[in-house]
Amino acid sequence: MSLMKRGNVYWSYLNMDGIRYSRSTGTSNFRQATQIEQRFREQLNLKRLQITEPHPEMPFGALAARFLAEGARRPWHIDRLKLLLPYWSEVPIGRVSKSMAVDYRRRRHAEKTVTDTTINRDLQALRHILFWAVDEGLLPSNPLGRLRLVQERRKPRSILSLEDEERLLTAAAPRLHQLIVAALDTGMRPGELFHQLWEHVDFSRKLLSVTQSKTAGGEGREIPFTNRIHEFLLAERKEEGLLFTFKGKPIRTIKTAWRAAIRRAGIRYLRFHDLRHTFNTRLMESGVIQDVRKVLMGHSVGEDINSTYTHVELPATREAIRKLEVWVTTQTQHQPQAQGGPDERTKSTRTNSGKVLSFHRRKEAVEKKDPGRSRA
């Protein structure tokens, strides 16, 4: 007999696949205990056959916690959940509907001035988590699977001019100065720069292999050195560790230092990520074809047998970086000299031949000008 009374409560004892399971029924009524034991037996059988019973009554907050613990979460999921949970946390996942998504969009617009693109990212994260719930057997289907998002409007991207680059580099603290140059000459994302290792810098071939990337296609891509990147790497050369650190510690964010540099330079605000767009635009203007630009930027170029042989693209990427340097040098030589006014305080970081001053000389100049400046 599988039901036994302990004290005044029936307990169920079941054997399945050589394993003994015990659970209290919580009742002294034999008929109710029998029904509870039957459900217990069904649950064990479903678990044995790896069949998960749907739980549409589960609150979204509980699903989000389970997704963060067991799912393939990314940093942007956490950022979006901070905005999603105040509205969705108590909603059972089986009751999520498209009309609720429309109401969520309306409330987000009422609370704060945000674009439809931002809200689309929220709903995409919500839909992704619900798809994960379907894969785990917690939902029979995704109620937002066919949700139509609001069409996004394209906005012009900010590009850093060569004149503004000189002002920004002059105003930036030494460590931020190096990050700016690296972003402009490699097109790497901020996260890629922060995680780049010295072990993946090849001085003999003058190549930098990206250590960690946002995308699988971007990871491990090879970027040839420009002259000023090569100069910086030789001056700071190490055997191992992170390429960019501050006081020996990893750099997590540069928002404060970036905004301060923009303010001191007196230029129009742009994001650090816009330096990546600037790199791509300069490659385009120097005549580099789209496929080569995609390789350097870490974008997808299609899946075919030749895409695995990255060394085939290496001569083309080297030529692309050479064209970039020629274009920058030509544009710098044709820039009119600033006359009078506040621009006189901005000293060019390039020489008349278009070459860039060394990082050590640049650092000494900054420290001599303002020894008390905070460093990024």
pLDDT tens by residue, 89-147 = 999 999 999 999 999 999 999 998 888 999 999 999 999 999 999 988 889 899 999 99
Mean pLDDT by 10 residues, the chain (376 residues): 84 84 88 88 74 82 93 87 95 94 94 91 95 90 91 84 94 94 93 92 91 75 91 91 91 93 95 93 90 83 44 72 88 65 43 44 48 44
- Which residues does 294 contact at the CB level (< 8 Å), separation at least 6? 300, 301
- The pLDDT value recorded for residue 200 is 93
What pLDDT sits at residue 371?
47
Domain ranges, ordered by start, for the chain = 3-48, 60-135, 162-335+344-369
pLDDT for res 356: 44
pLDDT reported for residue 337: 55
208, 201 in Cβ contact below 8 A? yes
pLDDT of the residue at 301 = 55
Neighbours of 9 (CB within 10 A): 13
Residues 6+ apart with CB under 8 A from 17: 48
- Which tokens go with 98? 């498209």
Residue corresponding to tokens 């105040």: 86
Q: Residue 120's pLDDT is what?
A: 95
- CA–CA separation, 278 and 160 (whole Å): 6
- Say whether pTM exceeds 0.75: no
Q: What is the pLDDT of residue 309?
A: 38
CATH class of 162-335+344-369: mainly alpha
**pLDDT reported for residue 172:** 95
Spatial neighbors of 290 by CB under 8 A, at least 6 apart, are none
| DSSP structural state of residue 304 | -
